[in-house]
Copies of this chain bind each other. A is one copy, B any other.
């Protein structure tokens, strides 16, 4: 049951699409939260307080640091370009204001549908108190009660609509780097994968394919024939996926800039000038993605690349990230003057450093510009968390118009719930840290809860230097994430996998992904089409199992599989908890595998650096392609080996389709696969 509570006159974020919900009596809320009005950040705001039992678990909050159980930290919904993802980071790129309090006396979900900043104090200030504070009195809040966390999620997802579905090729392995600088560099990446027999479906173009970082341009010196390159790569089964940034470069003669200015499509300052921020290209304007005609205009621009045969994009810097505002930059130069010829001691030295360090993503800069939203002029900070959502909506709506029958790959860095209908997300600019592999594992089910099914992290880590063993272990997990991309930053150690020594292990592990694709795709599609989860915490599947509730490093992938990735350096194995008897399958490659049945309970299992281990649930089937191939096109989705653990007649409902079109409801997409009980 879902109850809607309205305070003041909240903005419509367009996150919720289910109509017909009447506002409930605010008094009903007291069952879950004590609501009070309070001064928050110097203005009027609302405070929702909930006493937690010690055994309660708090699930959700999508893209955030820490565990599957979010207890013990304070999170802020405020889309942020933060490349560090430290344990004490409060905001990442998305604002996913949905959580479930599960356990003790009651279980319920809460969705705070509010586009400005929200603070979730989940037992940080007081271990046993959940406090949601919002520096605004206009808020819409939904409470969902159902029999289990899984049912709460399902009800929530019906509220916010079905998840985005990418083309099938987007489930293949992708190779990215900031940046492949030339056509020849792209060709080399393709060739090195193909000659090493490493499957690959996409190569990413980061910001340097553009002419001086101008959206919807191509640097013709380094990419003289992008369209030709796209075709050449497609002939090898490889899709090129260019990046699109939020800011539009200010440059006379640049069409997108001039048109935007002429039509009034950019965000404005208080006094009506186009707001100037610095990002990749230097000074830019931000398209007002919240304004319908500007959004339609920006979306239409993707045609420039679609026409070159491009069929996938990633939207970046759309929190939006701001290196500096023109005003702040001037202030900084003036402030610096004051520090010259001083004796800089501890206070003044760090004050000086902070002036410059605080230029990026300065909170104050987000109060310097305005949107036109539903006809109303609104200061950016009030709707901050909707910017990335609407940039991706711009693209999604345009694709629907420009190529209605074709799926286009689209994922975004910034997001808000609702955006999951238009695209996936990647987990942002992580680091080559083992702890970020674990974070990746833990974030996956949280994002799934919020509707972001098509997601994954930068495998191997974006910033910092990776190592060969981290790459191997991360891939051994990454083969289970719908988005599977290796991406790394300029200046870091190269991490295309052909650069490491153990090519065979890499080939086998990525080969496993392609072998598992029939199952991964089937499970992803069923989850998306039924508002379910592709990846779940163990406790969602075994809600009565107290030990399963504690597990923070194993996941259920689809209906048949549990995984327990190794995420510690130099570990040759790990502990695994089995909530029921399962069949463990150890793969050194698709064909080189061993099976053993393990009993319910605790186990220590060996997992060599080159091995992938998974667990098949009792009376479940894992269909595996007999031929993996070098790209998704080559995978045989029809001839399947059924790995299973069956002590009774067992069946699996297998979903498959052509992977490009949108005929999702065709019953012909479903097949029933059966196995007989083993001896």
Binding site for B on A (CB under 8 A): 57, 66-67, 69, 71-74, 86-88, 123-124, 126-127, 207, 212-213, 278-283, 323-324, 329, 333, 336, 339-340, 343-346, 348-349, 352-353, 356-357, 359-360, 431-435, 464-465, 467-470, 501-502, 547, 550, 552, 568-573, 575, 577, 602-604
Name the residue of chain B whose CB is nearest to the CB of A608.
B54
User: Are A87 and B602 in touch, CB under 8 angstroms?
Assistant: no
B343 touches A283 (CB 8 A): yes
Compute how far the CA of A282 lies from the CA of B350 in the bound complex, rounded to whole angstroms. 11
Residue numbers in B under 8 Å from A357 (CB-CB):
353, 356-357
Please measure, in the bound complex, the distance between the C-alpha atom of A42 and the C-alpha atom of B555, giving whole angstroms.
Answer: 49
Query: Taking the nearest CB of chain B, how far is it from the CB of A346, in angstroms?
Result: 5
Q: How far is the CA of A348 from the CA of B282 in the complex (A)?
A: 9
Contact between A569 and B71, CB atoms less than 8 A apart: yes
User: In the complex the two chains form, what is the Cα distance from A412 to B434 in whole Å?
Assistant: 30
Q: How far is the CA of A348 from the CA of B283 in the complex (A)?
A: 12
* Cα(A336)–Cα(B338), bound, Å: 13
**Given contact pairs A278-B344, A282-B345, A329-B344, A575 touches B572 in the complex (Cβ within 8 A):** no
A467 to B344, CA, bound (A): 33
A-B contact pairs, 14 of them (CB 8 A): A67-B570, A74-B465, A86-B433, A87-B435, A124-B465, A212-B345, A213-B345, A278-B344, A281-B346, A353-B357, A435-B435, A552-B568, A552-B570, A602-B602
Residue pair A282, B468 in contact (C-beta under 8 Å): no
Chain B residues with CB under 8 Å of A432's CB are: 87-88
CA distance A468 to B434 in the complex (A): 25
CB distance B87 to A431 under 8 Å? yes
Q: Is the CB of B69 within 8 A of A570?
A: yes
What residues of B have a CB within 8 angstroms of the CB of A69 in the complex? 569-570
Q: Which 3 A-B pairs have the closest CB atoms?
A: A282-B343, A282-B345, A88-B464
- Chain B residues closer than 8 Å to A278, beta-carbon distance: 343-345, 349
Which residues does chain B contribute within 8 Å of A345, judged by CB atoms? Answer: 212-213, 278, 280-282
Contact B570 A71 (CB under 8 A): yes
Given contacts A124-B467, A433-B88, A569-B72, contact A349 B333 (CB under 8 A): no
Return the chain B residue nearest A472 by Cβ: B127
Q: How many Å lie between the Cα of A18 and that of B437 in the bound state?
A: 46
Q: Which B residues lie within 8 Å of A73 (CB)?
A: 467, 569
A207–B347 CA distance with the chains assembled, in angstroms: 12
Question: Counting chain B CB atoms within 10 Å of each CB, which of A57, A207, A575 scores highest?
Answer: A575
- Given contacts A323-B349, A349-B278, A573 and B550 within 8 Å (CB-CB): yes
Q: What residue of chain B has the Cβ atom nearest to residue A339's Cβ?
A: B333
Chain B contacts for A87, CB-based, 8 A:
431-435, 464
CB-CB under 8 A from A572, the residues of chain B are: 550
User: Distance (Å) between the CB of A344 and the closest chain B CB?
Assistant: 5
Which of A333, A346, A547 gathers most chain B CB within 10 Å? A346
Residue of B with least CB distance to A323? B349
In the complex, chain B residues whose CB is within 8 Å of the CB of A212: 345
A-B contacts besides A212-B345, A323-B344, 10 pairs, CB < 8 Å:
A57-B570, A72-B470, A73-B569, A88-B433, A127-B468, A282-B349, A323-B349, A324-B344, A353-B359, A550-B571
Of listed A207, A353, A357, A573, residue having the most chain B CB within 10 A = A353
* A573: B residues at CB distance < 8 A: 550
Which residue, A127, A340, A343, A570, has most C-beta atoms of chain B within 10 A?
A570
CB distance from A241 to the nearest CB of B (A): 20
CB-CB < 8 A to A470: which residues of B?
72
Q: How far is the CA of A66 from the CA of B432 in the complex (A)?
A: 13
**Could you tell me the distance in whole angstroms from the C-beta of A55 to the nearest C-beta in chain B?**
9
Specify which chain B residues have a CB less than 8 angstroms from the CB of A324 in the assembled complex: 344, 349
Least distance between A307 CB and chain B CB atoms (Å):
27
